[in-house]
């Protein structure tokens, strides 16, 4: 365990612009870390799991990045937007339901009032609930660095547990976005977790479906923790397309999903057999729920 006198930073910065944040990161040259709500990293530093940085650069107050907006094609979420804000935003509740549901189960009210979806994604934990909802929606993230900004698919940012394509000592995840569900689309999320106060998800699943009558014309599935990174279950989603909104088709997708993933046993979460059972039980339920929501929007 790290001594309390050594597990703290020396400076804490609250830049007012992305440019100022990048200048600070460049000045510290890898000795500073971007932080949003800090609900993960500060706990890790306090526990001695992660080394402290010389400085923290808090980007949650950057002008223009603390709001949710909607363009013709996307719902855009700034890096300073908390989970609580996402849960209460009517646009996301209606057109990104699985994201609102996934952010709504993160921690308790205090954590949701401080933690951000951007932090959830950038911290790159395999079990990030908000991340699972964003994956199912086909979400993207904007990354700002000294050479400019770029948008990439959220699913492509994960390299391993706590490891991200985003260089959090030199870059800033500025915004996230997803295409809102349309008139024939619906989404849903479900988490199975241990009830003993540990708040550890055994399995989290989210899906987005597009239907035409009783035919599935588009699908995506996000799931975790099922490995070192949150999983975009492309093959399982492909197995749904062209079939009907039926239990048989949902079970087929479950079989494909389980054929393409290894559910590890974990002493802190559950056995492989139990997690397999949870996927078989709940993935068909959220697929049916997403289909019902798609039909209800017609």
DSSP 202-218: EEEEEEEEEEETTEEEE
In the predicted model, is pLDDT for residue 72 greater than 80?
A: yes
CB atoms within 10 A of CB 47: 11
Position 267 scores a pLDDT of 78
In the predicted model, is pLDDT for residue 218 greater than 50?
A: yes
Interval 161-211: pLDDT, tens: 989 999 989 999 999 999 999 999 999 999 998 765 556 789 999 999 999
Superfamily for 185-296? CO dehydrogenase flavoprotein, C-terminal domain (3.30.390.50)
Position 1 scores a pLDDT of 37
What phi and psi, each to the nearest 5 degrees, are found at residue 41?
-65, -35
Interval 254-275: pLDDT, tens: 999 999 998 888 877 789 999 9
Position 5 scores a pLDDT of 47
Position 162 scores a pLDDT of 86
Q: Locate 1 and state its tokens.
A: 């365990």
Of the two residues 214 and 45, the one the predictor is more confident about is 214
- Residue 116 three-state SS: strand
Return the ∠ at Cα 277 (arms to 272 and 278), rounded to 5°: 100
Please give the Cα distance from 253 to 21 (Å, whole number).
44
Contacts of 142 (CB under 8 A, 6+ apart): 149, 150, 151, 173, 174, 175, 176, 177
pTM of structure = 0.91
- Residue 172 three-state SS: strand
Q: Locate 156 and state its tokens.
A: 């492509």
Contact between 104 and 83 (Cβ < 8 Å):
yes
Question: CA torsion angle for 235, 236, 242, 244 (degrees, to 10)?
Answer: 170
Map out the domains of the chain as residue ranges.
Answer: 185-296
Position 3 scores a pLDDT of 45
Residues in the chain: 298
Phi-psi category of 148—alpha, beta or left, where left has phi over 0 and alpha has psi -120 to 50?
left
């Amino acid at each position: 365990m790290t001594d309390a006198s050594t597990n703290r930073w020396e400076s804490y910065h609250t830049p007012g612009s992305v440019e100022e944040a990048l200048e600070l990161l460049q000045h510290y040259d890898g000795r500073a870390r971007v932080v949003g709500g800090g609900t993960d990293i500060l706990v890790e530093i306090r526990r001695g799991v992660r080394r402290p940085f010389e400085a923290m650069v808090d980007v949650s107050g950057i002008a223009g990045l603390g709001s949710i907006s909607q363009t013709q094609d996307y719902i855009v979420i700034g890096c300073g937007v908390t989970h609580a804000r996402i849960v209460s935003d009517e646009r996301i509740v209606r057109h990104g339901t699985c994201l609102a549901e996934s952010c709504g189960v993160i921690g308790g009210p205090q954590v949701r009032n401080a933690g951000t979806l951007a932090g959830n994604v950038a911290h790159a934990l395999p079990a990030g609930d908000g991340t699972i909802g964003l994956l199912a929606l086909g979400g993207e993230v904007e990354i700002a660095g000294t050479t400019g900004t770029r948008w990439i698919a959220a699913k492509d940012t994960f390299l391993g547990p706590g490891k991200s394509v985003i260089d959090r000592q030199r870059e800033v995840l500025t915004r996230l976005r997803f295409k809102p569900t349309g008139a024939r689309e619906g989404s849903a999320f479900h988490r199975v977790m241990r009830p003993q106060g540990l708040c550890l998800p055994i399995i989290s699943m989210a899906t987005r479906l597009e239907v035409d009558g009783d035919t599935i014309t588009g699908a995506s599935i996000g799931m975790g923790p099922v490995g070192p990174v949150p999983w975009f279950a492309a093959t399982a989603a492909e197995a749904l397309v062209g079939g009907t909104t039926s239990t048989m088709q949902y079970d087929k997708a479950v079989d494909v999903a389980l054929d393409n993933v290894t559910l590890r046993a974990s002493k802190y979460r559950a056995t492989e057999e139990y997690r397999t059972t949870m996927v078989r039980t709940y993935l068909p339920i959220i697929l049916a729920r997403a289909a019902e929501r798609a039909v209800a929007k017609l």
